[in-house]
Structure 1
Amino acid sequence: MIKSQSFFAYSRCGYLNINGQEIEFPLVLDSDSIQIKEDQISLMGESATKRDVSIGKRTITIAETENFIVPIINPHFLKRSRQTVNFIMDLKKIIGYDKLLYIPGISDPYLLPQLFMLGVDIFDDINADMEGSHGTLYTMMGRIHNGEENSRENGKFLQDLVSLLKKGVESMTLMEMVERWNISSKAREIIRMLMDEKSEEFEKVYPRTTGSVIAGGLESLERPDIVRFNRYVLEDYKKPNNLETILFLPCSARKPYSTSKSHREIFEALGSLRRYINEVIVTSPITLVPRELEETYPAGFYDIPVTGNWFLEEKENIIRSIRSFISKNQYKNTIFFLPEDMLFVKERLNLGEDFILWKKGTDNQFDELKARISQIRSEEDVRGRRDFMKEKLLSIARYQFGEWIIPHIEGLRINRMFNQFMLVDGNKPFFVFNERLGKLTIHKNAAELFVKTRKFLVEIDDFKPTASIYAMGVKDCTEDVRQEDEVVIHHSGSVRGTGIAKMSKEVMMNTHKGVAVKVRN
């Protein structure tokens, strides 16, 4: 019996019960527990039956036990990265998530995290034994040849690596682990294909939030959560209050930016002038962050090495994004207030007086910026007081749920109760802003909005949910649901509660095991 405890995209961890023994997965099998012969296949004491399945233009045989799926293929078939990615992803579509996938003989330690990310659950020590007996030792920096017997050490290396990957799923940091475990060129190829050629499929299973983004290299530019945010800002973002002036600012090490010393100094210097400008922060791998979205994921939850140097790809991404953003939102006035390491923006966009160099630490560092905005203010009609909190909550709602939500909530008022901001109708809370997670949580009072519009729904069998809803109790799920999304739970249109999806739709509808939704009320 399999108990899936946590998912991360195609990867999962949990427990396997065989003959009363509870075993954690992902796991590394001892080769002694595997018997693969032409007439008989046995895995951990479970006998298998065979059947043929079509994958692309190829028909393969898979062996199936109560708990395992084993494709019978020559490991050399998966020598090429593209073939590996296509084969495993196509196979997962056929076999679903009720059984554990084991592909014999492919447990290269320097590909293992990438294979796990693709959905392989079980590995073996066949290669570790063979290479170890020929004097090869696995290390964190790659293989070394010491001429000694290293089979035992190599086996432990695999076990420790698999334990780390399990923790990565549980802590939602698996992507950071995989990005850093790029010792071999094939490992890098697999991840690039997953994020490029398979990006549409991968996005559908990738969690909406992962807790944090530790951006260590250019690969982070293609992460599904980063791509989602950047695409939203460039394609669907709407400037607040019909503002006609945009101010581009640099990022800060501290998040949200508004809590940093540099941005607090800007606030203090500009004072009431801020109500005339749309503030947008320039950064990487997220390129542009409107001030209203700085607290949401991933904008408020990423970290990058701050060196003052930019990769060429980052520069190109920033320039392309700025051009697109300005073109779409149509501002009368554009101001860039950026430091010396971002002079490439001035050069590439051929900026004149629109670019003001931020000379940090000087006594008059904000004088030119204040003068420019004051001039713009005198040319505009007098603007009333801006409700920055209302702008923020509506902008987060639009990003989190889509444009459809705005007509339903723009008339709600903001209330602060129990140290939390809420969107309320009369005395009824509809949405609560969770500052720690940077998102709106759905109150049961707002659930009917989602049922009527068929958005972010999980339909269950006819029962009253308590703390958790298991996948076996799920009947249907709308296409927009991703892991970690806020969802409304219903049965045939009757609201049964709200909660957080712990699986994507693809996983939820293709397994009967594991927690599908954590219920709030």
Structure 2
Amino acid sequence: MTRFFEVTHRDGAARLGRILIRGGVETPYIERTHESIMVNEGNALLHEQISCAIDSVNILPYIGLPYHAPKGLINFFAPLARDKMEMEAPVGVVVHPDWHVEGADVYVMAGARAIEGDARALLDSIIKIRASSKPDTALYVPALATPENLSLLIYLGADIVDDVLTTAKAYEGLYLTQDGEFSPGELFDLPCSCEVCRNNTPEGLRSMRAKERFELLAKHNYLRLEEELKRVKLHIRRGMLREYVEKQCRSRPWLTALLRLADAQYDYLEQRTPTYRSSRMLACSAESQNRVEVRRFAQRVKERFRSNGDILLIIPCSARKPYSASQSHMALASALGKYKNYVHELILTSPLGVVPRELELVYPAAHYDVAVTGVWDLEERQWVSGCLRDYLDTHSFKKVLAHVDGPYVEVCKQSGHEMVFTSRGRITSEESLLSLVEHVRAAVDELGTKPRSAKDLMLDLFRGMADYQFGAGNGELLVPEDATVKGRYPRYALFGGREQLCSISPDYGSLSLTLEGAKRMRLEPDYEVTIGDFVPKGSVLAPGIIGASLQIRPGDDVLVKGPKAIGVGKAKMSGYEMVGSTRGMAVELRHVERL
């Protein structure tokens, strides 16, 4: 655990933080030789520790073995890297990914420059170092950052980079941008408005003395790196770094490969990704289908959500969210009239797969936007049809009606389940709507299905959201039969008698529990945080946490319990961070009760 590093914002594995020296150094940070916050003690075979600078990060003497070093050497030097650190100042250690070193504030990846372009090696190094270090420690990836790759390095978990590579590129005569690197001879204009580019031209750079040109290129390259860092910080604060990375990774094939390989390491990213957030999720590339939020949503629908009824109506998604506010869905509801209460609705969509009507307000179902072309590629069709197949396999509907057109028809057929197609061309055409109503009426008459009342529909909404958010079965525990719903769509509040149990927070796409609502459900152990012998006020900081479920993610509502108090609030960090950190807000409390 560190005394000198604190995380302040999270966006997946990317973080904003502070190194607690010199009044607070904000991370992600670019280390510069002439403005260094590091004291490098050098090679351990040549030097012993000689300094203890309290206003700098002291990099202990090290053996810097590259990623592909022989296993024998890695094992031989590993004990040297495990020396205890007892300095009263920030400590940094240079580590090979296979070493486990405790007690440092900053971990420096050894040999990072040697694995530029090797996506597997770089990803493996970051994941291993992160897994073996405490969550409130910083990761320094040296000699690797450029304006092209900076966003992806930070997205994967780097907190500190440097200007070594941008300077080296300058002395190779290379002009760097976020889109690539160029020699001055390739440029007709300087596509930048920094101080260097405003006062020079490509012809001028080519004609000046080499030393002067190198210095100007180094300055430009650093300014571009600094500008990119500011852009990345902005996206982290907005909770939208993933969207930027999906765009930026296309500047080089190895960066695209790095993102795709990272998505395959689902557990690493999922453990750090919020379950709910207020920002929109933009699905603009093929990689969007593999992001954590999409896969987690599909998994929870499959494992947690259950709908009991006779008739399932499958319909397409809409551009407007929530779906029920769209013109197409309102047209369907108007045409169905009273028969809407006889069916359970399921919306087909890419990239989320399937969205039960009860979950249309949940993040990210109500918070995503996708490029609409009317054409689905093979991977999209396979993914959505697979989600539909899973949904139908885990439910026992007696009749399945598919009111779809275009590519949705093929998706439904690929599910392998029997269903009746009711659309006659465009789903909102008069002929299609008449066909839909006729098929629903016939199914109701055939099965003797009973309608759900308006109250039943509202209570099913809360039950479905509770099951999705806290696990199957919690909806029945939260929502009593005599429950009432107050408020206007979508800001509903659920009451049991006079006690409010929860409310829907449409901004975040989740239920906000009251203490009474939390007590009714089985939140232990999956959503429970144990605190010490005190009564919290406003928030619970990480040092006050005794235990927390490893299932907790940022954004989850959690039950907080201790000897003197019980409360409910929103998790601000993952469960593993709560128990492994010494700084930072762990839970933002909503209600507290003394015991």
TM-score (norm 2): 0.80
Which residue of structure 2 lines up, in the alignment, with residue 228 of structure 1? 296
Overall identity of the aligned pairs, in %? 25
Deviation at 1:31, TM superposition (A): 2.6
Cα 1:483–1:412, aligned 2, differ >3 Å: closer, same or farther? farther
Aligned to 1:393: 462
Q: Tell me whether 1:338 sits opposite 2:340 in the alignment.
A: no
The SS at the match of 2:394 is helix
Distance in structure 1 (CA, Å) of the matches to 2:548 and 2:419: 52
Question: Are the equivalent residues in 2 in contact too, given 1:413–1:423 (CA < 8 A)?
Answer: no
> SS state of the match for residue 224, structure 2?
helix
Q: Contact between 1:340 and 1:357, CA under 8 Å: does it hold in 2?
A: no
8 Å CA contact 2:316–2:404 kept in 1: the answer is yes
What is the distance in 1 between the residues matched to 2:118 and 2:336? 57
Amino acid at match of 1:174: L
Q: Which residue does 2:554 correspond to in 1?
A: 483
Q: How far apart, CA to CA, are the structure 1 residues paired with 2:161 and 2:336?
A: 59
Question: In structure 2, how many angstroms separate the alpha carbons of the residues matched to 1:243 and 1:51?
Answer: 65
Query: Structure 1 residue 346: deviation in Å?
Result: 6.0
Distance across 2 between alignment mates of 1:335 and 1:483: 38
Structure 1 residues without counterparts, runs of 5 or longer: none
The corresponding residue for 1:201 is 268
Q: Note the 1:162-177 alignment, pairs <5 A.
A: 162-177=229-244
Q: Look up the match of 1:114.
A: 152
| Counterpart selection for 1:104 from 123, 129, 142 | 142
Matched, 1:142 2:144: no
Deviation at 1:209, TM superposition (A): 1.9
Superposition pairs for residues 426-441 of structure 1, below 5 Å? 426-441=497-512
Q: Distance in 2 between matches of 1:201 and 1:17?
A: 27
> 1:452–1:352: structure 2 CA closer, same or farther, 3 Å change rule?
closer
Aligned-partner SS, 1:178: helix
Counterpart in the other structure of 2:92: 64
Contact kept in structure 1, 2:276 and 2:363, CA below 8 Å = yes
Structure-1 residue corresponding to 2:281: 213
Mean Cα deviation higher: 347-356 or 252-261: 347-356
Tell me, in whole angstroms, the C-alpha distance in 2 between the residues paired with 1:452 and 1:252: 34
Distance, in Å, in 1 between the alignment partners of 2:390 and 2:419 is 19
Task: Assess if the C-alpha contact under 8 Å between 2:463 and 2:479 holds in 1.
Answer: yes
8 A contact 1:205–1:507 mirrored in 2: no
Query: CA 1:188–1:224 in 2, change beyond 3 Å: closer, same or farther?
Result: same
Where 1:248 maps in the other structure, the secondary structure is: strand
Q: Secondary structure at the match of 1:225?
A: helix
Distance 1:333 1:15, change over 3 A: same
Contact map agreement 2:548 2:576 (CA 8 A) in 1:
no
Q: Deviation at 1:416?
A: 4.2
Give, in whole Å, the separation in 2 of the partners of 1:383 and 1:274: 12
> Which amino acid letter does the alignment assign opposite residue 60 of structure 2?
T
**Residue 176 (structure 1) shift:** 1.5
Other-structure match for 2:366:
300
Q: Is residue 286 from structure 1 mapped to residue 356 from structure 2 by the alignment?
A: no
Structure 2 residue 489 is matched with structure 1 residue 411? no
Task: Judge conservation of contact 2:405–2:427 (CA < 8 Å) in 1.
Answer: yes
Cα displacement string for residues 50-88 of structure 1 (whole angstroms, at most 9, x for unaligned residues): 478999964554972775332443621465222211221
Structure 2 residue identity aligned to 1:406: G
Once the two structures are superposed, what CA deviation does each residue of 1:211-264 show, in whole Å capped at 9, x if it has no partner?
A: 32111112121111211111222343211xx32221111110000100001110
Q: What code does the residue aligned with 1:334 have?
A: V
Q: Find the counterpart in structure 1 of residue 575 from structure 2.
A: 505
> The residue matched to 1:18 in structure 2 has which SS?
coil
Number of equivalent positions? 516
- Change over 3 Å in CA distance of 1:231–1:35 after alignment to 2: same
The match for 2:26 is 24
Q: Secondary structure at the match of 1:519?
A: strand
Any conservation in 2 of the 1:243–1:331 contact (CA below 8 Å)? Answer: yes
Give 1:355 shift: 4.9
Q: Structure 1 CA distance, aligned partners of 2:419 and 2:355?
A: 23
1:188 aligns with 2:241: no
Structure 2 equivalent of residue 95 of structure 1:
133
Q: Work out whether residues 485 and 501 of structure 1, in 8 Å CA contact, stay in contact via their aligned partners in 2.
A: yes
Deviates more, 1:374-383 or 1:116-125: 374-383
Residue 256 of structure 1: which of 305, 322, 330 is its match?
322
* Structure 1 residues 269 and 92: CA distance shift in structure 2, 3 A: same
Gaps of 5+ in 2: 83-90, 94-103, 186-204, 206-212
Judge which range, 121-130 or 434-443, deviates more: 434-443
TM-score normalised over the length of structure 1: 0.91
Given that 1:488 and 1:495 are in contact with CA atoms closer than 8 Å, whether structure 2 keeps it comes out as no
In 2: Cα distance, 1:53 partner to 1:136 partner = 28
Shift of 1:504: 0.7
Residue 378 (structure 1) aligns with:
445
Q: Which amino acid aligns with 1:94?
A: S
Q: Is the 8 A contact 1:9 1:207 kept in 2?
A: yes
Give the Cα separation in 2 of the matches to 1:172 and 1:447: 27
User: How has the CA–CA distance of structure 1 residues 511 and 283 changed in structure 2, closer, same or farther, with 3 Å as cutoff?
Assistant: same
Alignment CA distance shift 1:330-1:225 (3 Å):
same
| 1:455 maps to which of 516, 522, 526 | 526
2:515 equivalent to 1:444: yes
* C-alpha contact 2:136 2:582 (8 A) present in aligned 1: yes
**Counterpart AA for 1:16:** I
Q: 1:46 to 1:363 in 2, by over 3 A?
A: closer
| 1:140 positional shift | 3.2
Indicate conservation of the 8 Å contact 1:111/1:186, yes or no: no
Q: Provide closer, same or farther for how the CA distance between residues 426 and 217 of structure 1 changes in structure 2, counting only shifts above 3 A.
A: same
142-151 or 287-296, which deviates more: 142-151
For the structure 1 residues 428 and 356, does the alpha-carbon distance in structure 2 shift closer, same or farther, using more than 3 Å as the test?
Answer: same
Answer with 274-283 or 8-17: which moved more: 8-17
Cα contact 1:209–1:225 (8 A) shared by 2: no
Larger radius of gyration: 2
SS of 1:513's equivalent in the other structure is coil
CA deviation after TM superposition for structure 1 residue 449, in Å: 4.2
Could you tell me which amino acid in structure 2 is paired with residue 49 of structure 1? L
What CA distance in whole angstroms lies between the structure 2 residues aligned with 1:160 and 1:116?
14
- Aligned equivalents of 1:83, 1:195: Cα separation in 2: 15
